[in-house]
DNA sequence: CGGCATACG
DNA sequence: CGTA
DNA sequence: GCCG
C-alpha cells in the first residue's frame, strides 16, 4: 500500500506519518530537491519527481510506503499518484484553533510570531490550493485533539491498512453503481437507484421516475409528487427504481443467484415484486431504515436482506459530539415529572456510608443545580422506561433530553458507522452501539434541533449528513442512551470527583495504556519472552514480564534512550525520597526514581539491549526457532494450553494436521480453532449482539446490556463477543431462568451451534463456603453468516459468544470485570486487597470480615471505581496487556 | 522471603 | 490444567 | 522476576 497524506496542519500530518512509520513500518518516500536532503532523517528515500517515486513504489508494490505533502513546494502530483491501484489518498485536518497554535509554536521556534491575519492568509492560500484534493481523498480524518496519543488512538481505530479502500468489494461496487443510477432519478420526492446483478454481472439498472413517454416528474409529470403533501399514493405515476430494474431485466433474465442492490430499503410494493421474480438476495444501503413490513415479507419468503458498509463517512463526529452540551443541564431541559415516592422505599434511605469511606465524594451534596433527589431520579427513570416501549415510528420518547447528562455513555446511530465513530465517541467515554430498543432509550426527535444548530467550521460534512437523513425521513442520525447506568439514566458523574490516573503507579489499573503502543517492537519482544516463560512453566517469571510489558505499554511516547523510561519518572514531592533518588542516580538537578516492575537485573538489561541494538537477542532466538511457531499453532486449539502445546511440540509434533491424523483431535476441532483465530470486525460484533438482544427481548421486558471485552476497549477487531445483560428489578431466579431460555432460543434457530459452559447464579459448590450470588454465564460458539457482515466472505464463520447475565446490583462490576484486559483485572484486585477489600466479578467483600458490600446504589462503572478509590480510566485506555 | 486476581469445568 |  |  502507498499512502499519500494531504492536509494543511503540520502537526497532524507529522503525527500521521510517524504513526504509519513506527507502528506499521511504512517507509517514507519524498519528492524534493537535493538541498533539502541533508536536513531530514536518514531512513527516507528521496526522488526528483513524483513519476520516479511512483515507479519505485510500483516495483515494490507489496511494501508499505507513505509520502507526506508538508509544504506546497514539495507537493506530490496527486493525479499521477491516484492512477495506481495500490495508492490511497488520506486527508488529515484539524481545528482552526489547533492549526493556529501549531503554526505559532513553529513561529516561536524561529523567533517570530504570527498574527491572526497572517494565519488567515496562510490558511486561505494553502487550504484552497488543496481543497480539491482533500475532497477527493479516500479517507478524510479529522483530528480534534491537541494530544498525540489521543489522535493515534483515533487513527488506529480508522484502520488505515484496510485493503477494501483500495479496491471495493462487490457489494460496495454495485452499491456505488446504484447510487450513481439514482442520480438519474427524475422523481421530485427522492433519488433512488437499483442495480440487478447475476453472478457478479450487471443485468439491469433502474432509477425512479415517471414511465417512458410521460412528462418527467421533475417537470410536473406526477401530480402527487409535486403536491408536496404526503398523500394520494394511488395517484403517484412514478415507478420505483427497483421496479424499473426488474422490468428492464424481464423475468427470464432473473436467475437463481440474482442479487438486487438498492440504495434505500425497498418499500412493501417493491418487495412483493422482488419475491415474485424469484430474487433471493437484496442488499440495501444501511444508512436507511428497514421497513418492518418489508423485512417480515422477505423473511417469510426466505429472501435474505442485509446492508452493506461504506467508507464514505468523514471523521468529523468528534466536534459534533463535543458541541452537544454534555456537561450541564440547562433549565429548560429540566422539567421534572412529578416524583414517584412509591418506588423508592429502600433506595432513598441508604447512603454509601457503609463502604466505610467517610471521604467518599458521593456523600457530599453536589453543588450543581442539577442534583436530583433519589426519589426524583426514580420517578424520572420510570417515566422514561414506560416511554421506551413505543419506540418505532414517531420516536418521541423523551421530552427532556438526557443529552445534558454526563452519564450518557451510549450513542446509537440509525446506521452503523461503528469503526469510524468509536474512536471519537470513546474519547468522551461514550460507547457506540447500534441497538435502538434497549431500555432507557433516548431517541432525539428533540435532539434534531440541537444537532442542526451545530455549526462547527470544520463540520460541513456532518451538517450534510444530518440534513440528508432528515430529508430522507430516516430515523434521526443520532440518538443517545445510557450505557454505564442502563437502568439508571440519572446517575450524575462529575469529572471533578474523579481520581486522577498515575502513569508511574505499579498497578496497571491506575495507568492509562494506549490501544497501540509507540514501542510495539519492544512490547512484542517482551511478549515473546513472556510466552516462553509460560511454556516453561515459570509462572511468576512470566508474570514479571507481563508487568514489565504493561509498564512499557503505558509509556505514551517512543522510547529513545534509557533515561526516557528507566530513570525519567519524576520523583515524588516527598523531599527525602527525592534526595535519596538523586544520590542514587547522581543527577542532583533532575531527581528521578526507577520505574516500577522493571527490575535492575534482568528486564532492564533487555530493554537496554533493545535500545542499543534494536532487538532483544533472546526474543529473536525464540522467535526464530521451529518450536516456537509450532507451539503457537498448537496453542491456538481449544483445550490445548501452554503445557500441552509445549509437551506436544517437544515430542516432535510438527503441525495441527498431524494431530488430526493421529486422532488426537478431530478435524472439527482444528477447523473451529481456525475460525476462532479470525478476528471480528466491530460491525459484526454489534450485529451479532443485536441478534442476541432480539432474542433476549422476547424473554425480558426491558433488558439493559453492554457489549464488553475488546470491543468496549475500542479495539478495531475483537476475538469474541461479550455481552452483559441485566434487567432492572429482576430476581435471581428470573435471571437464571432467562439465561436458560435465551440459550434454548439461540439454539433453536441454529445460531448457537455449541454450548461450552452454562453457569447459573447462586450455584451451590463445595468450593464455596457461602451461598453468594455469582455471575451467570453462557459460553458458546455461534455461526455467523453474511448477514452479520463476516469479513471472510460468503462462508459462515464460527465465533465465540459469551453472554453474562448479571443481577442488577452487580451490573457495573460485571462490566468492569469484563472490560479490563488481564493485567487490568489482576492489578484491580491486588490493589483493592491492599485496601482490605476483596473483589470478584459480581461482588465486593470486606476482606477481613467477609461481609458483602451493597452495590445497589452504584450508578455507573465510574462511580464504582470511585467507591473503590481507583481512577476511572476510559475503556480504550485499559489495553494494558 | 512471601506474595503475585479470581472463578468455573 | 485450560479457559474466561 | 520484581516488590516490599
pLDDT digits (tens, 9 = 90+) for A286-300: 444 556 677 778 877
Q: What is the model's pLDDT at position A212?
A: 81
CB contact at 8 A, A8 and A91 = no
Q: What is the model's pLDDT at position A495?
A: 66
Question: Which range is least confidently modeled, A33-42, A274-283, A589-598?
Answer: A33-42
Q: What is the model's pLDDT at position A567?
A: 57
Q: Which nucleotide is nearest to A618 (CA to C1')?
A: D1
Mean pLDDT of the region A801-830: 91
Q: What is the model's pLDDT at position A506?
A: 92
Q: What is the model's pLDDT at position A460?
A: 28
Taking the C-alpha atoms of residue A186 and residue A516, their distance in angstroms, rounded to an integer, is 49
DSSP state of A446: T
CB contact at 8 A, A753 and A783 = yes
pLDDT confidence bin for A773, thresholds 50/70/90? low
Length A627 CA → C1 C1' (Å): 21
Q: A431 pLDDT exceeds 70?
A: no
Element containing residue A532 per DSSP (H, E): helix A520-535
Q: What is the pLDDT of residues A354-375, one digit of tens each?
A: 233 333 333 332 222 222 222 2
Give the closest residue to B7 (Cα–C1′): A840
Q: A796 pLDDT exceeds 60?
A: yes
Taking the C-alpha atoms of residue A89 and residue A165, their distance in angstroms, rounded to an integer, is 10
Distances (CA, A) of A430 to A206, A572, A682, A683, A808: 41, 33, 15, 17, 21
Q: What is the model's pLDDT at position A36?
A: 53
Q: What is the model's pLDDT at position A800?
A: 95
Give the closest residue to B9 (Cα–C1′): A757
CB contact at 8 A, A512 and A873 = yes
Q: What is the model's pLDDT at position A32?
A: 72
Q: Kindly state the percentage of chain A with pLDDT values over 90.
A: 16
Give A417 or A845, the one with higher predicted confidence: A845
Phi, psi angles (nearest 5°) of residue A385? -65, -45
A721 CB-contact burial (10 Å; exposed 0-12 / middle 13-18 / buried 19+): buried
Residue A809, CB half-sphere, CA atoms under 13 Å: how many?
14
Length A540 CA → B2 C1' (Å): 13
Q: What is the pLDDT of residues A67-109, one digit of tens each?
A: 887 455 555 677 777 888 888 888 888 877 788 888 888 877 7
CB contact at 8 A, A517 and A491 = no
Within 7 Å of a protein beta carbon, the nucleotides of strand C are 1-4
Of A418-432, A448-462, A810-824, which one has max mean pLDDT? A810-824
Q: A726 pLDDT exceeds 50?
A: yes
CB contact at 8 A, A847 and A833 = yes
Question: Which range is least confidently modeled, A114-128, A420-434, A707-721, A822-836?
Answer: A420-434
Give the closest residue to B5 (Cα–C1′): A826
Q: Residue written as cell 417493491?
A: A270
User: H helices of A653-779, where?
Assistant: 656-662, 667-677, 682-697, 709-712, 732-748
Mean pLDDT of the region A437-459: 25
Strand C proximal to A644 Cβ, under 7 A: yes
Taking the C-alpha atoms of residue A549 and residue A560, their distance in angstroms, rounded to an integer, is 17
**Which is nearest to A535 in space by CA: A651, A656, A652, A627?**
A627
Element containing residue A228 per DSSP (H, E): none
Taking the C-alpha atoms of residue A700 and residue A703, their distance in angstroms, rounded to an integer, is 6
CB contact at 8 A, A347 and A808 = no
Mean pLDDT of the region A168-182: 84
Question: Which range is least confidently modeled, A107-111, A261-265, A615-619, A622-626?
Answer: A107-111
Among chain A residues 724-783, those with CB within 7 Å of any atom of strand C: 779
Q: Kindly state the percentage of chain A with pLDDT values over 70.
A: 68
Cβ contacts of residue A226 below 8 Å, gap of 6+? A188, A217, A220
Among chain A residues 403-442, those with CB within 7 Å of any atom of strand B: none
Q: A327 pLDDT exceeds 60?
A: no
A586 is catalytic: no
Q: What is the model's pLDDT at position A510?
A: 93
Give A789 or A376, the one with higher predicted confidence: A789
Length A863 CA → C3 C1' (Å): 30
What are the cell numbers at A96?
Answer: 482552526
Q: Which nucleotide is nearest to A763 (CA to C1')?
A: B8
* Number of other residues whose CB lies within 10 A of the CB of residue A725: 27
Q: What is the model's pLDDT at position A719?
A: 92
Phi-psi region of A25 (alpha: psi -120 to 50; beta: other; left: phi over 0): left
Give A630 or A350, the one with higher predicted confidence: A630
- How high is the mean pLDDT of chain A? 71
Q: A616 pLDDT exceeds 70?
A: yes
**Which is nearest to A477 in space by CA: A487, A465, A486?**
A465
A335 CB-contact burial (10 Å; exposed 0-12 / middle 13-18 / buried 19+): exposed
Q: Which nucleotide is nearest to A538 (CA to C1')?
A: D1
Of A369-373, A415-419, A703-707, which one has max mean pLDDT? A703-707
Q: A445 pLDDT exceeds 70?
A: no
Q: What is the model's pLDDT at position A47?
A: 83
Give A98 or A441, the one with higher predicted confidence: A98
Give A242 or A418, the one with higher predicted confidence: A242
Q: What is the model's pLDDT at position A452?
A: 24
Q: What is the model's pLDDT at position A33?
A: 63
Q: What is the pLDDT of residues A180-205, one digit of tens each?
A: 898 888 887 777 899 999 988 999 99
Distances (CA, A) of A362 to A355, A357, A358, A386, A493: 11, 10, 9, 29, 10
Q: A662 pLDDT exceeds 70?
A: yes
Domains of chain A: 2-165 (3.40.50.300), 170-307 (3.40.140.10), 680-877 (3.30.460.10)
Q: What is the model's pLDDT at position A195?
A: 94
Question: Which range is least confidently modeled, A354-363, A398-407, A543-552, A695-704?
Answer: A398-407
Cβ contacts of residue A865 below 8 Å, gap of 6+? A499, A816, A871, A872
Q: What is the model's pLDDT at position A524?
A: 92
Mean pLDDT of the region A294-308: 73
Task: Select which of A11, A427, A593, A606 is catalytic.
Answer: A606
**Which is nearest to A429 in space by CA: A554, A318, A316, A315?**
A318
Q: What is the model's pLDDT at position A605?
A: 92
Strand B proximal to A638 Cβ, under 7 A: no
Q: What is the model's pLDDT at position A217?
A: 78
Residue A681, CB half-sphere, CA atoms under 13 Å: how many?
21
Length A774 CA → B7 C1' (Å): 9
Question: Which range is least confidently modeled, A91-100, A506-515, A655-664?
Answer: A91-100
Taking the C-alpha atoms of residue A776 and residue A737, their distance in angstroms, rounded to an integer, is 10
pLDDT confidence bin for A306, thresholds 50/70/90? low
Q: Whole-model pTM above 0.75? A: no
Taking the C-alpha atoms of residue A241 and residue A249, their distance in angstroms, rounded to an integer, is 12
Give A518 or A201, the one with higher predicted confidence: A201
Strand B proximal to A826 Cβ, under 7 A: yes
pLDDT confidence bin for A783, thresholds 50/70/90? very high
Distances (CA, A) of A663 to A428, A653, A659: 52, 13, 6
Q: Which nucleotide is nearest to A506 (CA to C1')?
A: D3
Q: A788 pLDDT exceeds 90?
A: no
Q: What is the model's pLDDT at position A323?
A: 36
Phi-psi region of A506 (alpha: psi -120 to 50; beta: other; left: phi over 0): alpha
Q: What is the model's pLDDT at position A263?
A: 79
N residues, chain A: 881
Q: Which nucleotide is nearest to A833 (CA to C1')?
A: B5
Strand C proximal to A632 Cβ, under 7 A: no
pLDDT confidence bin for A494, thresholds 50/70/90? low
Of A315-329, A390-404, A559-573, which one has max mean pLDDT? A559-573
Q: What is the model's pLDDT at position A402?
A: 27
User: H helices of A441-519, where?
Assistant: 447-453, 460-471
Mean pLDDT of the region A439-446: 22
Give A817 or A495, the one with higher predicted confidence: A817
DSSP output for A628-671 = HHHHHHHHTSTT--HHHHHHHHHTT---HHHHHHHTSS-HHHHH
**Which is nearest to A155 in space by CA: A27, A18, A28?**
A18
In three state form, how does the secondary structure of A549-617 look? HHHHHCCCCCCCCHHHHHHCCECCCCHHHHHHHHHHHCCCCCCECCCCCCCCCCHHHHHHHHHHHCCCH
Amino acid at each position: 500500500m502507498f499512502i499519500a497524506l494531504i492536509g494543511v496542519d503540520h502537526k497532524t500530518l507529522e503525527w500521521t506519518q510517524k504513526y504509519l512509520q513506527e507502528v506499521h513500518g511504512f517507509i517514507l518516500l519524498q519528492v524534493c530537491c537535493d538541498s533539502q536532503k541533508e536536513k531530514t532523517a536518514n531512513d527516507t528515500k528521496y526522488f526528483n519527481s513524483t513519476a520516479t517515486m511512483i515507479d519505485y513504489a510500483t516495483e515494490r508494490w507489496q511494501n508499505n510506503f507513505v509520502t507526506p505533502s508538508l509544504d506546497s513546494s514539495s507537493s506530490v502530483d496527486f493525479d499521477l499518484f491516484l492512477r495506481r491501484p495500490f495508492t490511497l489518498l488520506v486527508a488529515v485536518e484539524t481545528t482552526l484553533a489547533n492549526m493556529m497554535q501549531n503554526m505559532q509554536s513553529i513561529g516561536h521556534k524561529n523567533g517570530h510570531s504570527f498574527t491572526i491575519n497572517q494565519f488567515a492568509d496562510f490558511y486561505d492560500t494553502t487550504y484552497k490550493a488543496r481543497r480539491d484534493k482533500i475532497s477527493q481523498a479516500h479517507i478524510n480524518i479529522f483530528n480534534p485533539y491537541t494530544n498525540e496519543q489521543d489522535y493515534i488512538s483515533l487513527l488506529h481505530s480508522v484502520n488505515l491498512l484496510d485493503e477494501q479502500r483500495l479496491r471495493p468489494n462487490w457489494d460496495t461496487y454495485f452499491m456505488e453503481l446504484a447510487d450513481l443510477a439514482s442520480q438519474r432519478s427524475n422523481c421530485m420526492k427522492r433519488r433512488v437507484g437499483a442495480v440487478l446483478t447475476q453472478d457478479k454481472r450487471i443485468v439491469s439498472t433502474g432509477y425512479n421516475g415517471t414511465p417512458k413517454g410521460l412528462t418527467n416528474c421533475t417537470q410536473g409529470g406526477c401530480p402527487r409528487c409535486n403536491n408536496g403533501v404526503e398523500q394520494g399514493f394511488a395517484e403517484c405515476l412514478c415507478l420505483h427504481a427497483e421496479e424499473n430494474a426488474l422490468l428492464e431485466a424481464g423475468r427470464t433474465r432473473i436467475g437463481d443467484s440474482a442479487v438486487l442492490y438498492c440504495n434505500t430499503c425497498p418499500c412493501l410494493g417493491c418487495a412483493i415484486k422482488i419475491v415474485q421474480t424469484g430474487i433471493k438476495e437484496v442488499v440495501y444501503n444501511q444508512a436507511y431504515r428497514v421497513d418492518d413490513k418489508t423485512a417480515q415479507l422477505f423473511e417469510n419468503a426466505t429472501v435474505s436482506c442485509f446492508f452493506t458498509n461504506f467508507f464514505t463517512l468523514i471523521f468529523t463526529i468528534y466536534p459534533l459530539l463535543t458541541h452537544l452540551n454534555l456537561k450541564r443541564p440547562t433549565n429548560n431541559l429540566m422539567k421534572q415529572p412529578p416524583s414517584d415516592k412509591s418506588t423508592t422505599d429502600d433506595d432513598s434511605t441508604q447512603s454509601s456510608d457503609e463502604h466505610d469511606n467517610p471521604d467518599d465524594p458521593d456523600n457530599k451534596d453536589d453543588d450543581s443545580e442539577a442534583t436530583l433527589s433519589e426519589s426524583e431520579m426514580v420517578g424520572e427513570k420510570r417515566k422514561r422506561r414506560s416511554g421506551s416501549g413505543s419506540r418505532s415510528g414517531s420516536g418521541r420518547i423523551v421530552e427532556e433530553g438526557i443529552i445534558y447528562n454526563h452519564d450518557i455513555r451510549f450513542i446509537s446511530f440509525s446506521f452503523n458507522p461503528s469503526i469510524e465513530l468509536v474512536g471519537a465517541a470513546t474519547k468522551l467515554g461514550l460507547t457506540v452501539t447500534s441497538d435502538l430498543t434497549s431500555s432507557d432509550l433516548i431517541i432525539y426527535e428533540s435532539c434534531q434541533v440541537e444537532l442542526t444548530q451545530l455549526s462547527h467550521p470544520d463540520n460541513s460534512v456532518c451538517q450534510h449528513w444530518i440534513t440528508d437523513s432528515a430529508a430522507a425521513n430516516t430515523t434521526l442520525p443520532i440518538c443517545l442512551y445510557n450505557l454505564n447506568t442502563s437502568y439508571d439514566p440519572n446517575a450524575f458523574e462529575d469529572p471533578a470527583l474523579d481520581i486522577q490516573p498515575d502513569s508511574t503507579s505499579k498497578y496497571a489499573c491506575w495507568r492509562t495504556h494506549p490501544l497501540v503502543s509507540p514501542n510495539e517492537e519492544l512490547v512484542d519482544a517482551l511478549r515473546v519472552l513472556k510466552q516462553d516463560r509460560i511454556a516453561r512453566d515459570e509462572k511468576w517469571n512470566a508474570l514479571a514480564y507481563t508487568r514489565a510489558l504493561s509498564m512499557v505499554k503505558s509509556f505514551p511516547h517512543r522510547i529513545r534512550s534509557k533515561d526516557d523510561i528507566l530513570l525519567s519518572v519524576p520523583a515524588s514531592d516527598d523531599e527525602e525520597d527525592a534526595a535519596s533518588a538523586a544520590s542514587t542516580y547522581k543527577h542532583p538537578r533532575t531527581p528521578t526514581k526507577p520505574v516500577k516492575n522493571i527490575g535492575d537485573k534482568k528486564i532492564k538489561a533487555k530493554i537496554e539491549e533493545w535500545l542499543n541494538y534494536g532487538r532483544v537477542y533472546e526474543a529473536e532466538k525464540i522467535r526464530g526457532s521451529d518450536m516456537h511457531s509450532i507451539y503457537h499453532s498448537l496453542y491456538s486449539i481449544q483445550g490445548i494450553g501452554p503445557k500441552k502445546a509445549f509437551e506436544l511440540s517437544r515430542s516432535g509434533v510438527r503441525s495441527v494436521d498431524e494431530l488430526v491424523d493421529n486422532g488426537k483431535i478431530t478435524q472439527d476441532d482444528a477447523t473451529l480453532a481456525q475460525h476462532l483465530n479470525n478476528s471480528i470486525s466491530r460491525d459484526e460484533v454489534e450485529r451479532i449482539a443485536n441478534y442476541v438482544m432480539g432474542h433476549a427481548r422476547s424473554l425480558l421486558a426491558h433488558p439493559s446490556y453492554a457489549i464488553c471485552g475488546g470491543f468496549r476497549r475500542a479495539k478495531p477487531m475483537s476475538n469474541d463477543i461479550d455481552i452483559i445483560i441485566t434487567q432492572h428489578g429482576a430476581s435471581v431466579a428470573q435471571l437464571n431462568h432467562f439465561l436458560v431460555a435465551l440459550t434454548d432460543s439461540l439454539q433453536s434457530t441454529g445460531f448457537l451451534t455449541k454450548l461450552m459452559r452454562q453457569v447459573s447464579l447462586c450455584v451451590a459448590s463445595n468450593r464455596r463456603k457461602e451461598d453468594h450470588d455469582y455471575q451467570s454465564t453462557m459460553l458458546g460458539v455461534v455461526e455467523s453468516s453474511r448477514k452479520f457482515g463476516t469479513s471472510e466472505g460468503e462462508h459462515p464463520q464460527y465465533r465465540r459468544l459469551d453472554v453474562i447475565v448479571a443481577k442488577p446490583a452487580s451490573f457495573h462490576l460485571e462490566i468492569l470485570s469484563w472490560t479490563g484486559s488481564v493485567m487490568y483485572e489482576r492489578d484491580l484486585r491486588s490493589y483493592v486487597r491492599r485496601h482490605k477489600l476483596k473483589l470478584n466479578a459480581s461482588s465486593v467483600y470486606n476482606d477481613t470480615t467477609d461481609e458483602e458490600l451493597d452495590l445497589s446504589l452504584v450508578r455507573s462503572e465510574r462511580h464504582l471505581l470511585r467507591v473503590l478509590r481507583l481512577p476511572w480510566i476510559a475503556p480504550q485506555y485499559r489495553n494494558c496487556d
